[in-house]
Amino acid sequence: MNALSLAQKIFTRRDADIVINRLKNNYGARSSCNLMIETNLIKNKKIYDAIHYIRRKTDFKPRLALVLGSGLGEFSENINVVSSILASEIPHYPVSSVQGHAGRLVFGYLKKDAARSMPLLIFQGRIHFYESGKLDQVVFPIVIAYRLGIKKLIITNAAGGLNSSFSAGDLMLIKDIINLTFLQGQSKDMQQDFPHSHPLEYFDSTMQQKLLQCASQLKIALKEGTYCWLKGPAYETPAEIQMLKRLGVDAVGMSTVPEIYTASALGMKTIAISLISNLAAGISQNKLSHAEVTATADTVKEQFSELMKKLILSVK
Question: Per mean pLDDT, which range of 83-87, 99-103, 160-164, 190-194 is the poorest?
Answer: 190-194
Instruction: Return the pLDDT at 103.
Output: 87
- Measured CA to CA, the distance from residue 257 to residue 177 in angstroms comes to 7
d(CA 111, CA 205): 25
- Judge if 146 and 271 occupy the same domain: yes
Ranking 16-20, 48-52, 126-130, 139-143 by mean pLDDT, the lowest is 16-20
The share of the chain scoring above pLDDT 70, in percent, equals 75
Residues 39 and 69 in one domain: no
Q: Please state the rounded mean pLDDT for residues 266-280.
A: 92
Which comes out higher in pLDDT, residue 93 or 196? 93
Structural domain ending residue among the three candidates 57, 78, 95: 57
Looking at the chain, the whole-number percentage of residues with pLDDT higher than 90 is 57
The pLDDT assigned to 118 comes to 96
For residue 204, is pLDDT > 70?
yes
- Is residue 148 a contact partner of residue 59, using CB atoms and an 8 Å limit? no
On the question of pLDDT at 189 being above 80, the answer is no
Shared-domain flag, residues 44 and 170: no
Same domain, yes or no: 91 and 182? yes
**Can you tell me the mean pLDDT for 228-252?**
94
Tell me how many domains the chain contains.
Answer: 2
With a threshold of 0.75, does the pTM exceed it? yes
List the catalytic residues: 70, 101, 128, 130-131, 158, 254-255, 278, 290
Both 174 and 278 in one domain: the answer is yes
Q: Flag whether pLDDT at 13 surpasses 70.
A: no
pLDDT value, residue 3 = 52
Supply the pLDDT for residue 37. 46
pLDDT at 117 over 60: yes
Least confidently predicted of 170-184, 283-297, 300-314: 283-297
Question: What radius of gyration, in Å, describes the C-alpha atoms of the chain?
Answer: 20
169: domain CATH number is 3.40.50.1580
Rounded distance between C-alpha atoms, residue 220 and residue 196, angstroms: 38
What average pLDDT does range 197-203 have in this prediction? 69
Last residue of a domain, one of 57, 77, 95: 57
Same domain, 52 and 95: no
Q: Are residues 66 and 47 part of one domain?
A: no
Lowest mean pLDDT among 25-29, 236-240, 292-296: 25-29
User: Looking at the structure, do residues 259 and 131 belong to the same domain, yes or no?
Assistant: yes
Instruction: Mark whether 198 and 302 lie in a shared domain.
Output: yes
Range of the domain at 26: 1-57
pLDDT of residue 235: 86
State yes or no: pLDDT of 219 exceeds 80.
Answer: yes
Q: Based on the domain organization, do 7 and 65 belong to the same domain?
A: no
Residues 43 and 132 in one domain: no
* Cα dist from 237 to 82, 166, 244, 245, whole Å: 44, 19, 11, 12
Same domain (yes/no): 68, 136 = yes
Among the candidates 35, 57, 79, a domain finishes at 57
Q: How far apart are CA 199 and CA 298, in angstroms?
A: 35
pLDDT at 123 > cutoff 90: yes
